Structure 1
């Protein structure tokens, strides 16, 4: 067994699933609980994670994987949903017992779900999974408590700059040298808008995305969003220069430079569509996560660029993850079947080289991206072997990701707020929206108001 990697460069990062897992392999390492007669118990589980219907190639591959998993595990039936996680909706469903068996959720959510007893302890099952002991401890610390294991990471992300290489060239900018600071971003954005008439830098501000971006940008300036007092209570910590600098930069780019465009009240899906259409020069997200959606919507692979998260002096970037958890209402047989599916789809492609190659071949045949550069969850040696195994099927312009990949070894990874993150993001959305829609927005007054709202949210949380 390889020693766990504990360097910051590996924090929160997994090899993402290549639109699924093996197209032809044996059953995963766990099995449903036998009946009294000694035969595996037939069980049906509902799982989140089916690709959106608009991504037809990914859906076709996913459905093929389900069929082959069920063939290898005839006692298990998979019912899949493409409905994404929504904290408000699923809180009600979990409370009412109608949530799916397998939950696919952001890393911000486990603490509250564990505290409320809404997810199952998997510790009696996960030890049977090959490679479980080598999962990144920086992620697993959010999924383990008092010897119990409540989830398994699927993939992770770190913020970086997504940009259009064609628009860079049209604006007279070098597409191999993306901006690395916020001052440079502002300069590049103004030049793109002036030379091409397109939005130089895209921004989002609804569905919690405004607060999410404000958080990530604040980290690059050395700030934080919340902090814990000695008595265990949490308080807002963003009413300070790092966040103020972000808001002032937005204000200048929106109203002085006119480089943010007018479509500032959208969500990430809206910005992906505009970027794919060639209407946006740059924006911030996780480039490896954006790329598959960009390709699915007809984006030009050669025009896609991935750069480092712009910095304001901190050499830091926001990092998070998608994790898989099982509803506390699941029976023992359902729990084991869900973990069986997790290993089959999410974990084995990372370390089983035959499966990695088969998955890559099938994905490439379906026109799905293969070989998007990421940082590994396992050892460097294992990841190198994985890259070798899929090499002949890589259809991604890997060099276009070089600036992003190179930057990740230079930055500290800062997790999202450890409590109430989605509620905090929602409370910050109006602040971001005001700055982006009102040229006379009073940033100090808006920060004071947001601080009060966030402190009200945090008042219920204590260690």
Structure 2
């Protein structure tokens, strides 16, 4: 069964990051020369994580960070890609050798990448990272194996409710009191649809997002997606009332209440755009991850609301992370350069508070969000100090996140399936799609068939 752990929300931090770093220690071969001995090897690395061209402020900050990093490390050249991780194409790109040096992936990916030998062991260079020992052990447990270190967390998240405060008011609902149970979600969604003509509750079901949401919702009902036997083998465990109740709720909201709207076959990016346009009352995601994209697309900060993950009795929420890993094909010099970039942009601003304040000030001047409530990747004490350092530059309506923040100290954090998670999500997408597109969908048959397919997937991973 899933191991559940608890962690308090600790601080408010910015999404963009900036820091200084020392020169790489990698050297070229050859005879010693007083003009060249000890000079680092010139190296070019390709990286994921460049903001999209449409996110002009974030892109401008990122490009300044690259320029400043290269000035501090003139032997390193950064070639950045704005192509995001995609569940259907990433494995093919990696297997075909076209993936970047530095990979930016969800926490669901490391186990399979490590198992297939597609990512590098970084343990010989992570000792140079200040604060490495303070990284969140709940995340690092998925990135460390037998003394090897295969990745570094960039950020962590927990599911919550994203909602439009303006539509709440138009529907006669209190925007400071979002729903906390699935029964309340259904009632609120019906009222929003009836009073405003907008989609009361938005849902996604493609690109593995349907299975992802079904998993997170099932956790709130006390269920699990896979379970481990005494012989360490895994099997599917979702053909029960916990998952069935989620599908029944979707079926009722879609076909009885007409509160889910008709755009039910999209992915998260589609829903963010629809929500930003004011056409969706509520939906589930990680509010801190949604907010920057919402603002970049012209969303009203005051209309954004973040509430607790609605519950079905378990007081639990799905938690995950975005992690940075280096391709196994990287040379030693490329690996060292990639880790320098990771520390420069993703880590050091969390514990170098002068840099944190400078970054927050620059981000606020560029109109980027500063002070979005997130889950920490470092210790609570470090983030409390970080919060103090950036306090004067916070430009986010933090009070609108208060219901979300308050809930997190009460919930257990349940990780995504630790084996074959994306394959499981892909197997579950058709189940969600069937319920959302066919009023006569047979939920029992759908769950039984999906369990059989997932058991096959898990057996293949065990072989």
Q: 1:94-105 to 2 correspondence within 5 Å?
A: 94-105=94-105
* Partner Cα distance (2:257, 2:131) in 1: 51
Q: 1:345-364 to 2 correspondence within 5 Å?
A: 345-364=345-364
CA deviations 1:281-308 (Å, max 9, x no partner) are: 0000000000000000000000000000
CA deviations 1:7-35 (Å, max 9, x no partner) are: 71249x9976622324xxx324x724122
* Partner Cα distance (2:337, 2:176) in 1: 46
1:317 aligned partner: 317
What's the secondary structure of 1:121's corresponding residue?
coil
CA deviations 1:104-137 (Å, max 9, x no partner) are: 0010111111111111110011011110000000
* Partner Cα distance (2:221, 2:288) in 1: 24
1:27 aligns to 2:21 (yes or no): yes
* Partner Cα distance (2:380, 2:459) in 1: 43
2:81 aligned partner: 81
1:136 aligned partner: 136
Q: 1:239-388 to 2 correspondence within 5 Å?
A: 239-388=239-388
Paired residues of 1:32 and 1:337 also in contact (CA < 8 A): no
* Partner Cα distance (2:431, 2:173) in 1: 32
What's the secondary structure of 1:78's corresponding residue?
strand
Regions of 4+ moved over 3 Å = 13-17
Paired residues of 2:143 and 2:152 also in contact (CA < 8 A): yes
- TM-superposed deviation, 1:377: 2.7
CA deviations 1:54-104 (Å, max 9, x no partner) are: 111111110011000000110100000011112443323322333211000
1:456 aligns to 2:441 (yes or no): no
Between stretches 80-89 and 152-161, larger displacement belongs to 80-89
1:431 aligned partner: 431
* Partner Cα distance (1:169, 1:208) in 2: 33
- TM-superposed deviation, 1:380: 2.7
- TM-superposed deviation, 1:232: 2.4
Query: Structure 1 residues 366, 63: CA separation in 2 closer, same or farther (over 3 Å shift)?
Result: same
1:48 aligned partner: 48
Paired residues of 1:233 and 1:461 also in contact (CA < 8 A): no
Query: Structure 1 residues 228, 174: CA separation in 2 closer, same or farther (over 3 Å shift)?
Result: same
* Partner Cα distance (2:43, 2:12) in 1: 30
2:7 aligned partner: 9
* Partner Cα distance (1:7, 1:95) in 2: 34
The normalised TM-score by structure 1 is 0.95
The normalised TM-score by structure 2 is 0.95
* Partner Cα distance (2:59, 2:240) in 1: 45
* Partner Cα distance (1:99, 1:440) in 2: 42
* Partner Cα distance (1:32, 1:43) in 2: 12
2:33 aligned partner: none
* Partner Cα distance (2:13, 2:354) in 1: 17
What's the secondary structure of 1:123's corresponding residue?
coil
Paired residues of 2:13 and 2:387 also in contact (CA < 8 A): no
* Partner Cα distance (2:459, 2:236) in 1: 10
* Partner Cα distance (1:191, 1:441) in 2: 25
* Partner Cα distance (1:247, 1:7) in 2: 26
Paired residues of 1:14 and 1:156 also in contact (CA < 8 A): no
CA deviations 1:346-389 (Å, max 9, x no partner) are: 00111111110111111111111000012333333321221111
CA deviations 1:322-365 (Å, max 9, x no partner) are: 00000111111110000000000000111111110111111111
Superposition RMSD on alpha carbons, in Å? 1.6
2:64 aligned partner: 64
CA deviations 1:229-256 (Å, max 9, x no partner) are: 2222221100000000000000111111
What's the secondary structure of 1:461's corresponding residue?
helix
User: What stretches of structure 2 of length at least 5 have no aligned partner?
Assistant: 30-36
* Partner Cα distance (1:226, 1:111) in 2: 15
Between stretches 84-93 and 341-350, larger displacement belongs to 84-93
Query: Structure 1 residues 218, 167: CA separation in 2 closer, same or farther (over 3 Å shift)?
Result: same
Between stretches 371-380 and 13-22, larger displacement belongs to 13-22
* Partner Cα distance (1:177, 1:96) in 2: 50
Paired residues of 1:17 and 1:349 also in contact (CA < 8 A): no
What's the secondary structure of 2:460's corresponding residue?
coil
Paired residues of 1:15 and 1:155 also in contact (CA < 8 A): no
- TM-superposed deviation, 1:221: 0.1
Paired residues of 2:45 and 2:77 also in contact (CA < 8 A): yes
Query: Structure 1 residues 289, 183: CA separation in 2 closer, same or farther (over 3 Å shift)?
Result: same
* Partner Cα distance (1:129, 1:135) in 2: 11
Query: Structure 1 residues 439, 88: CA separation in 2 closer, same or farther (over 3 Å shift)?
Result: closer
